[in-house]
Structure 1
Amino acid sequence: MAMKDLIRCKEVSHAMTTDVLEQANYPYYMGIKYTTKDYEFVSHNESVHWQWSADDATMTELKHHGGTIVRLEDEAQLSKQVTAYIQKHQTNKYIVQHFQQPLVGLKIMIPDHVVIKQPLNLTIDLRDAQPIALTIVLILGEGSQLTLQQAININGQVAHASCVIIGHQADNSQLKLMTALSNQMPINLSLFGELDVARDCVADWSLVPGAYGKLLGDVVVNLNGQGSTAKLNAVKIGIGQDYSGFQGCVNHLATHTTSRINMRGVLFGQSKVNFTSVGQIYHGAYGSDSQQEGRLMTVGKSAQGTVNPLLIIDENDVNAGHAASVGQYDPEELYYLLSRGITEQQARKILVYDFIAPVLHELTDDLQQKVIAAVEEGAGEDLHDSL
């Protein structure tokens, strides 16, 4: 029996057979070194405690236009987008392990030609002491528009979590998506996301992976249709002994597509952050433009970071470029602020916030406050050190 005939919500683990897992491999990312066992998922069959909520006004508008938000475990069968995603990533051991777990998550569906005027603020609270595998599916119909803020809060004594976000935009749709993750206790978190974008679409995805502990992230936007545009933003604040390996990728598979990747990170304490950005223009995607920028500020004396830009071009009539940097704030700028009567601590904070401003401005006020809180927490003695 084909895998697509096997995959059903309450039987999804059966689709990922032992043979598939044995044939899968740990993913490789240029410039990102990680310990594979940190993100291994131990199978379990127990139910997971979680809940979700959204603002009432937007939910009323969404329902009025025929939109839906449903728990995946309440569906009779997974959507074709999820089935295709699982089949596509059978070689990724972590994704195979993810879909061997009890299905937990949401499917958000916006019908064709529906414009949701108010931002949809979606909060997901995961409360458990066992590993959690969360799946979010987003389907945006033709000509539709949505602004979605996802706040994923991992509470309790969870030591390991996996999050997969799968999205599909039909022709002429517009999506502004913001994804923030937070947790109270150190955690090993894997984050995989893929957004398939059709013709003449706008896709704007900003990520704030604020998890304490260890993070492995891989987010991809596929520009499948002519004339589409994608922006991929990420901001990471490294605290204590945090480790983050994060790759953002935009694939240009159609003509006259445009992408911008902007990744910023601030490293406090002994944190380590590796950013890799990939812009790939496939043969036949002429007239495309791929630009990327990755920058890290190392505030902590023992902090370490790398930025790894990668352009893969298989077409002549295109435009592409990248910029990358790793380093501390400019001492001359610091001395200038001090000369204006600003305290040393405040001056250093100004430089940090100015550094992350290009990405911070892409976020809502709520998410900006989360980033600011992380900076304030991570700063500690790092912003009090004498010159």
Structure 2
Amino acid sequence: MTTQTILPVNAEALKALSASKQEPAWVTESRLTSLELAGQLELPKLEKQRIDRWNIQAFGEYKQSEQLSSFEDLPQEAAKLVEGSREGGLVIQRNSGTVYSKLSEELAAQGVIFTDLETAVKEHENLVKPYLHEAVKRDEHYLAALHAATWNGGVFLYVPKNVEVELPLQAVMLTDNAEALFAPHVLIVAEANSRVTYVDNYLSNGLSGHVTHNGAVEVFVKNGAKVRFASVHQLTSETTDITYRRAVVENDGSIEWIVGEMNDGDTASDTMSVLQGNGSLSDQKVIAVGSGSQKINYTTQARHFGKSSASQMITRAVMREEAQAIINGITKIEKGATKADGQQTERVLMLSPKARGDANPILLIDEDDVTAGHAASVGQVNQEQIYYLMSRGISRTTAESLIIYGFLAPVVSEIPLEGLRDQLQGLVERKLGQ
């Protein structure tokens, strides 16, 4: 059965918008081709959940974003996320466009590029064009094609060969106008033997209606490069959050994903590492807390093509009230990927009788000479543990909190960025109503 999808924009309006922003012809052509595809493709298939029952048509329209005259003009909710840590570089998107962009002179002198994607397609075509929509393919499904047609603002990060960026480069993606299209696209290219850490925060504030965030992330890790990608989503219940992340990793390169899913609305994310090269590495850490009547679908994936490639995926989710979570882990080892090693763990802790969790570990192995393993668990808070702690004079609320933090600790403790660890700790406390 074909699911009826509605295009939020027509070709003529999209073409006129692209012209008004003075985008290169190849970008306009890409948008129009993608829009045509969107009209032909179906919605993505989520494991054990029907995304067509979600509110995924509140895309809004492109609204011109006013540039900030200074950082101090940024809304307080966004400013406090990067307060005191802007030395390397900062990009801020508000609704449909970028309102602030800055990179340190030292990094710029080394050839690092850190700007919004709309600027990059005009000023750095030779670096953007070969990669845009090559990891998250526009023909994957309706939402991928629609994103490729309507993306706005976004981030472009380029790190030249042998350059090591010591300070994290940061971005804030803010939606506070329910009528504005919010579809940032993040594109990162790390050349051979480079090093970089990128951190972004997605948040919504003061919305007077529903917003559908349809986002995409593409990371290209060249030979021997190391990329650490951290992302925290804290969007309100008026926002449906859909994000597809892909990394393509070449010989001896590595990608580290750190994802904090702290939304209050329905959320679907798919984070995949394509280990193309020999000796390539992927490490994925995801923590999530669901509350209210949220419906959540998280997928982590690793596809091994390279010999001696290695992947690890760890997802820990806490569900409270009536939240429902589907946690998927997929390790695919292709024929010829000898000596590959793929490991994954998914664990879900439910805090109430009405909460639901489902962990689905999947191993797909087409090569004999490999190592692979998985572990999964879904369960309630252990009442014996609570009783033991209470017998030592600890209140039930505190006892439950200690168990929850202990459950999440194996992921949180491994996060190498102290500020991010503290932020996630605070968000976990907020989500748990503490």
1:155 deviates by 3.1
Q: Which residue of 2 aligns with 1:13?
A: 31
Q: Which residue of 1 aligns with 2:130?
A: 80
Distance 1:15 1:46, change over 3 A: farther
1:371 deviates by 3.1
1:333 deviates by 1.7
The 3-state SS of whatever aligns with 1:82 is coil
* TM-score normalised over the length of structure 2: 0.80
Distance 1:45 1:340, change over 3 A: closer
Which residue, out of 7, 15, 25, partners 2:42? 25
Distance 1:189 1:169, change over 3 A: same
Distance 1:32 1:281, change over 3 A: farther
The 3-state SS of whatever aligns with 1:132 is coil
The answer on 1:244 being equivalent to 2:296 is yes
How many Å separate the matches in 2 of 1:352 and 1:212?
18
Higher strand share: 1
Which digits, 9 at most, give the CA deviation of each residue in 1:209-263, with x for residues without a partner? 2221111111111000000111111111001111111111010011100000000
Superposed, which structure 2 residues align to 1:129-278 within 5 Å?
A: 129=178, 130-157=180-207, 159-278=211-330
Distance 1:102 1:259, change over 3 A: closer
The 3-state SS of whatever aligns with 1:38 is coil
Q: Which residue of 1 aligns with 2:162?
A: 113
Q: Which moved more, 1:360-369 or 1:207-216?
A: 360-369
CA RMSD between the two structures: 2.3
Distance 1:21 1:41, change over 3 A: farther
For the 8 Å contact 1:279–1:311, the answer to whether it is kept is yes
1:29 deviates by 3.7
The answer on 1:379 being equivalent to 2:432 is yes
1:72 deviates by 1.6
How many Å separate the matches in 1 of 2:151 and 2:369?
47
For the 8 Å contact 2:151–2:184, the answer to whether it is kept is no
Distance 1:172 1:82, change over 3 A: same
Q: Which residue of 2 aligns with 1:47?
A: 64
1:43 deviates by 6.7
How many Å separate the matches in 1 of 2:234 and 2:27?
27
The answer on 1:71 being equivalent to 2:101 is no
Q: Which moved more, 1:41-50 or 1:271-280?
A: 41-50
Distance 1:127 1:10, change over 3 A: farther
The answer on 1:92 being equivalent to 2:141 is yes
Which digits, 9 at most, give the CA deviation of each residue in 1:61-98, with x for residues without a partner? 42232101122212224431114246x33131101111
Q: Percent identity?
A: 22
